[in-house]
Amino acid sequence: MGTSFGRGGATSFQQDWQNSDCILIEGSNLAECHPVGFQWIMEAKARGATLIHVDPRYTRTSALADIHVPLRVGSDIAFLGGIINYVVEHEAYFEDYVRLFTNGPSLVSEDFKDTEDLGGIFSGLDEEQRSYDPLTWQYEGEEVGAASGQREQLYEERNEEEGGEKSSGHRPSVASSGRGESHGSGGAAAHPNAVRDETMQHPRCVFQIVKRHFARYTPEMVEQVCGVPRDLFVKVCQTLVDNSGRERTSAIAYAVGWTQHSVGVQYIRTAAILQLLLGNIGRPGGGIMAMRGHASIQGSTDIPTLYNLLPGYIPMPHAHQDDDLEAFLKGVSTDKGYWSDMKGYLVSLLKAWWGPAATEENDFCFDYLPKLTGSHSTYETVMAQLDGKCKGYFVVGENPAVGSANAKMQRLGMANLDWLVVRDFGLIESATWWKDGPEIESGELRTQDIATEVFFFPAAAHTEKNGSFTNTQRMLQWHHAAVEPAGDARSELWFYYHLGRVIREKLSGSTDEMDAPLLDLQWDYPTEGTVAEPSADAVLAEINGWDADGRPLASYEQLNADGSTVCGCWIYCGVFTDGTNQAARRKPAREQSSVAPEWGWAWPANRRIIYNRASADENGKPWSQRKAYVWWDEEQSKWVGHDVPDFDPSKSPWHRPPAGSRGAEALSGEDAFVMQADGKAWLYAPAGLTDGPLPTHYEPQDSPFENLLYDQQRNPVRQVFARRHNRYHPNPGTRGSEAFPYPITTYRLTEHHTAGGMSRWQPYLSELQPEMFCEVSPELAEERELVHRGWATIITARGVIEARVMVTERMAPLLVQGRLVHQIGLPYHWGTNGYSKGDSANELTAISLDPNSHIQEVKALSGDIRPGRRPRGSAANDLVEDYIRRAGITSDTGMEVRGDH
Amino acid sequence: MVKSVCPYCAVGCGQNVFVKDERVVHIEGDPDSPVSRGRLCPKGSASLQLTTGETRRLEVLYRAPYASDWEVIDLDTAMDMVAERVLRTRREFWQWDVEGKRVRRTMGIASLGGATLDNEENYLMKKLYTALGAIQIENQARI
Ligand code: SF4
């Protein structure tokens, strides 16, 4: 969403669903996974809204929907692309909105070649590098930086233009950087005025390119690719169209059912394009909600424990020759929109970290930041562990031995470490694999041969520490410590603060340049209580920041680039306004408006619906009274309404920036997408993505079906790893592919939490969902002699698991490409420890990744199923080897860049 | 009673945590919350077991190289041992340059996790790791 709109957060808030006229849930089982949030969808339904659920399975969400559309796993881009085609063909798009707020009228370079021209790929593909050079995707005559995503794509060009020597051969390989596109917050570089054709008729304008690109996504094609009958598909299209426009709005909600694919980011892009064409962004009852599974997964992206980002979506710098702060900023920031102030955000962050040591003369310690040289995501890290290049590992409230793709490789990586630190409530699988993991059972590893030192530290619970979570709607909520943690249990705040303290003590007096960033680090937090817990309030105050006089800042607009302000995360600036913890605000819902602005605090600047300038027309009037949200008040000469305007409050809708303006000044009164390089939402992404400016249907890495839409089977730039334990399945139609005939998908249940660390040890939850199972249709049960409540064995080229069989009509077979297809559903919560045990679905999954987000494809794979329990001991591996042999799988299988084979 | 937030999913339901004699005795939905209006799902409702259940470990455990079982060790000792190892591995895998370009980092140390933690905790983690020169810092946003 970062690339489309400028910020990677959900565009709206859960309560706002009650204002929707239609809600499309796809890639999410919201009633099951976010049950309490789902109440707002039921509110909408009670008010007459139509609920559509598109999902391979008939779930708790489908049961409450007006329309359930079963589709084949991994075919969502074809489905949504079909809706886009329908909307465009029937001229059902919201034309004024599209012209005003999107880049539909903008002209694209003559050098750009679409998948229509090149048989399923875009111009710029470098087959050897497995990556695209995105230069030809730019607008005509100018270069636009992306608000998020691959922001360093243009680093070399930009720093060369100024007459500098070109420092090295070519741009950082696109496949190798990765900018957390799925969650970014952006605003990027661009000339304020793209060449535009306001009639949107020019053959090279974005709108026409989009129209041509999706023309082949016809209802007939959708039927063939997705297995969705034409009538049902058209009904969905018409329902969305009927519930969008001036008077009505539709919302879309998704979850990891969309992100966990080798084209996952483009799934979300397809939804973004659709919502923009229908005029549903920035308006009440509209938007796209990303439903996240962990309490603070949004927060851990905003303040990222992610390799490619610094707090507030500032990119981590890549290594370049003679890099310095100015060159870095030139490469990644923008001329227009709020990203042009990136220097202020970054310098204030460097001041928060290195205090007085960070000075104008030394580039504010920019050199202290370690530099990237490619992708260093968790999956590359596993490869580095296997190769002996990464020897120490902290696992903190996560359980990769169960929850990450290819669980075996996760464990083998850990078995190759010098030391491992696991912090959790109990002995999760990632802490005990060396004594009781599947490789011990199979004899592949012997405990007495494993050199890894393992530390287990008990973690404190949320009731034992102060701190804030950022929920799925960008809202920070503070939780207060009720008691101190017992025994040796400690918070992560405690652990990292004291670890840093001990490390700094050990290094004190060191004059080694290598240690300077640690010794200069600002690390004096007050501690409290009997365990010397650092003050979470003090940390939040630093995140918020203060001015030269130490006064808490109220807004990121106060941040300076001269080192006079301190701010640990610019998008959270304002959460400690007036020295008060805004995240701890708890004015009861009944005492305030339905937007509830005084409950917690949402970034940016406490806005609950972002891009809300788009809720009003070119004259600043609401598109309709029914959907009024913020509007221009002539008398007061400012934007007013139900929420904090996501716009300069005093900038009139008719404002046109003087020539030569920069930054926020360069935004016109119509530029509602204030973080974007051109102030517009992007139907077409001229920059920022690694795998194309438009979404394109490619088949999953492991798919039993050929790509009917193009000669190109898979995303050409997906990340794949030819490793012994990470074999891919043969292409459909080739020899051996029949060994893995069934599409498989993975999912979650209400009663368990992700990899189980917080649920399989709880008696209530374990009793509610006691063991691993698989869901199959009665037809598949008959075909493979599977018995309800009996056992089944499921096999891929990576592993074999067993599961209890649940035969259910909820798994309806679909007619795809003239073939009846049976899909298999697998919850992924289980492992060998805890009260509730079972095999892990991730024993079956491969590491194949989306090239933008580096998220693994575990929502669509293929495999085989047979009755009975799996073999034990080494016989289990023998069975997998047997399949690999029969299918003729080698290290080359599924590794191609181009073509259908 | 203290105000809290459910630690499971990102809906962010409000919780009221009841304390008696310095022990958490009850957790229920917060009716004041505009998001959850007092409701909790089965996971949120199991928070009392999560926080006070007997499966929680309260000791630091250490498994020595090649050992067949855990031993209990003292927290301060463990902290010191981890700090030693961090410094050793950091130095062993230190890089000033890669292909002639300055990187100032260590590739020896990685970290995984963050989405179940507080913002303040993620902040200290990123700050300390960056100062150490460790870049392979990741969390559940990738899964
Ligand atoms: S109670 Fe359930 S729905 Fe609410 S935050 Fe907790 S896990 Fe999510």
Rg of chain B over Cα atoms, rounded to whole angstroms, equals 20
The structural domains of chain A, with segments of one domain joined by +, span 1-152+172-293+683-697, 299-373+532-584, 378-516, 719-886
Kind of pairing, strands A601-602 and A533-534? unpaired
Task: Provide the pLDDT for residue A341.
Answer: 87
* For ligand 1, mutation pick of B4, B9, B15, B47 (most atoms within 8 Å of CB): B9
> Which amino acid residue places its CA nearest to atom 2 of ligand 1?
B41
Average predicted confidence (pLDDT) for chain A: 93
Element (H, E) at B112: strand B101-112
Angle at B122 between CA B120 and CA B126, to 5 degrees: 120
> Which amino acid residue places its CA nearest to atom 8 of ligand 1?
B9
Task: Provide the pLDDT for residue A899.
Answer: 83
Ligand 1 atom nearest to CA at B29: 1
Assign A152 a pLDDT band (cuts: 50, 70, 90).
Answer: low
pLDDT digits (tens, 9 = 90+) for A575-588: 999 999 999 999 99
Which phi and psi (to 5°) does residue A448 adopt? Answer: -70, -10
Residues shown for chain B: 143
Average predicted confidence (pLDDT) for chain B: 96
Domain B2-52: which CATH class?
A: mainly beta
Ligand 1 atom nearest to CA at B40: 1
CATH architecture for segment(s) A378-516: 3-Layer(aba) Sandwich (3.40)
CA A837 to the chain's CA centroid = 29
Ligand 1 atom nearest to CA at A34: 3
pTM of this structure: 0.95
CA B43 to the chain's CA centroid = 19
> Does residue A536 sit at the B interface (CB-CB below 8 Å)?
yes
Q: Is the pLDDT score of A145 beyond 80?
A: no
Q: Is the pLDDT score of A317 beyond 90?
A: yes
Angle at A176 between CA B102 and CA A346, to 5 degrees: 55
Tokens at residue A716, please? 């050409």
Angle at A697 between CA A691 and CA A700, to 5 degrees: 85
> Does residue A465 sit at the B interface (CB-CB below 8 Å)?
yes
Assign A262 a pLDDT band (cuts: 50, 70, 90).
Answer: confident
Looking at beta carbons, which residues of chain A come within 8 Å of B60?
A: 455-458, 488
Please compute the mean of the pLDDT values over residues A135-163 and round it to a whole number: 66
Rounded Cα gap, residues A149 and A179, in angstroms: 5
Task: Provide the pLDDT for residue A159.
Answer: 56
Task: Provide the pLDDT for residue A729.
Answer: 96
Please compute the mean of the pLDDT values over residues A13-22 and round it to a whole number: 98
Is A474 touching ligand 1 by the criterion CB < 6 Å? Answer: no
CATH of A1-152+172-293+683-697, one of 3.40.228.10, 1.10.10.10, 1.10.3720.10, 3.30.70.990: 3.40.228.10
Rounded Cα gap, residues B15 and A194, in angstroms: 49
How many alpha carbons lie under 13 Å from residue A381 in its C-beta half-sphere?
31
Q: Which of these, A245, A246, A254, lies nearest to A278 by C-alpha position?
A: A245
Q: Is the pLDDT score of A852 beyond 80?
A: yes
DSSP per-residue codes, A510-569 = ---GGGHHHHSS-----EETTTTEE-HHHHHHHHH-B-TTSPBPS-GGG--SSS--B-S-
> Does residue A264 sit at the B interface (CB-CB below 8 Å)?
no
Q: Is the pLDDT score of A156 beyond 60?
A: no
Please compute the mean of the pLDDT values over residues A358-366 and round it to a whole number: 97
pLDDT digits (tens, 9 = 90+) for A301-312: 999 999 999 999
Ligand 1 atom nearest to CA at A35: 3
> Which amino acid residue places its CA nearest to atom 6 of ligand 1?
B44
CA A172 to the chain's CA centroid = 22
How many alpha carbons lie under 13 Å from residue A97 in its C-beta half-sphere?
30
Ligand 1 geometric centre to CA of B15 (Å) = 10
Q: Is the pLDDT score of B111 beyond 50?
A: yes
Q: Is the pLDDT score of A173 beyond 60?
A: no
Is A35 touching ligand 1 by the criterion CB < 6 Å? Answer: yes
pLDDT digits (tens, 9 = 90+) for B9-26: 999 999 999 999 999 999
Q: Is the pLDDT score of A548 beyond 90?
A: yes
> Does residue A828 sit at the B interface (CB-CB below 8 Å)?
no
**A96 CB burial (10 A radius; 0-12, 13-18, 19+):** middle
Is A727 touching ligand 1 by the criterion CB < 6 Å? Answer: no
Contact at 8 Å (CB) between B116 and A756? no
Min Cα separation B114/chain A (Å): 6
Residues shown for chain A: 901
Is B8 touching ligand 1 by the criterion CB < 6 Å? Answer: yes
Q: Is the pLDDT score of A172 beyond 60?
A: no
pLDDT digits (tens, 9 = 90+) for A465-500: 999 999 999 999 999 999 999 999 999 999 999 999
Task: Provide the pLDDT for residue A143.
Answer: 67
Task: Provide the pLDDT for residue A33.
Answer: 95
ipTM: 0.98
Task: Provide the pLDDT for residue A170.
Answer: 35
Q: Which of A318-327, A750-759, B72-81, B133-142 has the least mean pLDDT?
A: A318-327
Beta bridge partners of B101: B98
Please compute the mean of the pLDDT values over residues A94-110 and round it to a whole number: 97
Domain A719-886 belongs to what topology?
Barwin-like endoglucanases (2.40.40)
Assign A166 a pLDDT band (cuts: 50, 70, 90).
Answer: very low
Q: Is the pLDDT score of A161 beyond 60?
A: no
Which phi and psi (to 5°) does residue A331 adopt? Answer: -70, -30
Please compute the mean of the pLDDT values over residues A817-821 and round it to a whole number: 93
The Cβ of residue B58 has, within 10 Å, a number of other Cβ atoms equal to: 11
Q: Is the pLDDT score of A178 beyond 50?
A: no
pLDDT digits (tens, 9 = 90+) for A61-74: 999 999 999 999 99
Contact at 8 Å (CB) between A696 and A262? no
Contact at 8 Å (CB) between B55 and A425? yes
Task: Provide the pLDDT for residue A339.
Answer: 82
Q: Which stretches within A690-772 are classed as H helix?
A: 763-768
Q: Is the pLDDT score of A245 beyond 80?
A: yes
CATH 2.20.25.90 domain locations along chain B: 2-52
Task: Provide the pLDDT for residue A660.
Answer: 86
